[in-house]
Every structure is written in structure tokens, then in C-alpha cells.
Amino acid sequence: MLPPITIVTTTYLVNDVRLRTAISTINSWERYLEYSEFIYLHVSDDGSDDDRVSTLFDAINFVEDVTYSEQSRQGVGSSLNKGFKKAFETSPLVLYAVDDWKLLHDFNITPWAQLLMEREDVGMVRLGPPHPFTSGKVEMFTDNWQGWGLRLNREGFAFGHRPALYHRRMIDAYGWFKEGCNALECERLYNEKFLHSAGPDIVLALPHPWQHIDSIELSSLEPK
């Protein structure tokens, strides 16, 4: 049995366009995100207008529990730190689902949670698109045909602020996120720590729309 997962999303609803984007994105998670256990949500906001925050919360209705934290323009690093600390109160697993990355199709994250709970050599599973020129080694990480992943080489942007599932060991190994800087710099600095420090690896999930059906195995059968 797997632990619950808290979705941490960082927000700065600077205008109504950004608010509508966040609502559309969260609605896509409600429609398409699948997990075998409970899912919670933590909204970590960086100083949005109170009315926009209220409107956002009115649109959220798909999780067991929604929590909230706020800080006044301390950057995405501060929002991530507060959100992750809250999430770790209930589980070692956190899904950073970015508020402008919406899901387009059904996506079951159960195999990737299983991976993180079983493999101490992995600290994070990237669930979104890789950065350009990302490289690594393809491995099968779970006894599930959706458990294929790319163990990333420590070069380029192996770490990224795109949607990803974290185990607490990732933060224990590489530390918390830099506060008081813009999102690009926060991402760059954490990637540098990953590239140049010892610790658990990052895996890029390689989900696919195919399912292998177990039947009579013919692969070793010799033709006449």
C-alpha cells in the first residue's frame, strides 16, 4: 500500500489571465490524474490578490483536503519550501504540479510512486517533458509495463521545475530551494547542486499508451 500524495502547486496570480490559467490547469488534474491512494493539495502562494485566491479555491473540488500557505513576494523557492514542508507532514511523496502545466490525457502516477518507495537510489521522477539535450539510460524500474524510465545523466538541465514527483530523500540530499530569486535562477541553482553533489538520481518517466497482455509466451518458440 502506497502513502498519500500531496500536490504542491505554487501560485502568483498576478492578473486574471494567470488566474484562468491556474483554474484550467487544476481542472485538468481533476479530470486526468490517477493514483491508487489519497491525493491532497497544497496551494503555496507568493502574494496574490485575496479575491483571486478565493476564486481559485472556489474552483477546487477534487481532493480530500486543500491547505494553503502564503508569503509576500519571496519567490518560487520560498513557495516550494513552505509547500514541501507542509506535504512532508503526511507523506514522503510530493507531486509538484506546476500551475501552468495542464494534463491532456489520463495519467496514472501509481507506478512512479511505487518506484520512489522501493528504490532508495532515486529521489525524483520527472513527469513532464525533458529539457533539450537531456540524456540518460533507459531502465525498467518496476514490475509494471508503465515503469520504464530514463535515469538521467548529470549534465545539462537534469533537474527542472517542470511537473515531477519527489521523495523526501531528494530534499534531504540536496537541500531546500533558494529563496528571494526568480524562478529561472532558483531552477538553475538547484540543478547545479544536483550535478555536482552525491545523492539519489533523477528519473524521467517514459509512459506510453500501450499495455502488454500476458498470454501464451511465444518469444522463445522455434518455428518448424
- For the record, the C-alpha cell of 26 comes out as 487544476
According to the model, what pLDDT value does residue 215 have? 82
H helical segments located in 88-220: 110-118, 168-174, 183-196
Task: Give a yes or no: residue 162 inside a domain.
Answer: yes
Task: Give a yes or no: residue 223 inside a domain.
Answer: no
According to the model, what pLDDT value does residue 197 have? 96
For 113, the domain range is 5-205
Task: Give a yes or no: residue 179 inside a domain.
Answer: yes
Task: Give a yes or no: residue 28 inside a domain.
Answer: yes
Angle at 62 between CA 56 and CA 64, to 5 degrees: 105
pLDDT in tens, 86-130: 999 999 999 999 999 999 999 999 999 999 999 999 999 999 899
Determine the average pLDDT of the residues in 187-204.
97
Residue in this structure with the C-alpha cell 474552483, named with its chain if needed:
59
Task: Give a yes or no: residue 224 inside a domain.
Answer: no
CATH of the domain at 152: 3.90.550.10
Taking the C-alpha atoms of residue 164 and residue 187, their distance in angstroms, rounded to an integer, is 13
E-strand ranges in 50-135 read 66-70, 93-96, 107-108, 122-126
Give the number of domains in the chain. Answer: 1
Task: Give a yes or no: residue 215 inside a domain.
Answer: no
Task: Give a yes or no: residue 217 inside a domain.
Answer: no
Ordered strands of the 122-126 beta sheet: 66-70, 39-45, 5-11, 93-96, 164-167, 122-126, 201-205, 148-152, 136-140
- pLDDT over 70 for what percent of the chain? 99
Please state, as a whole number, how many other Cβ atoms lie within 10 Å of the Cβ of residue 42: 25
Helix (H), strand (E) at residue 30 = helix 16-32
Distances (CA, A) of 64 to 21, 30, 35, 87, 92: 22, 12, 13, 14, 18
Q: Is the Cβ–Cβ distance between 177 and 76 less than 8 Å? A: yes
Least confident of 41-55, 56-70, 90-104, 158-172: 56-70
Task: Give a yes or no: residue 213 inside a domain.
Answer: no
pTM of the model: 0.93
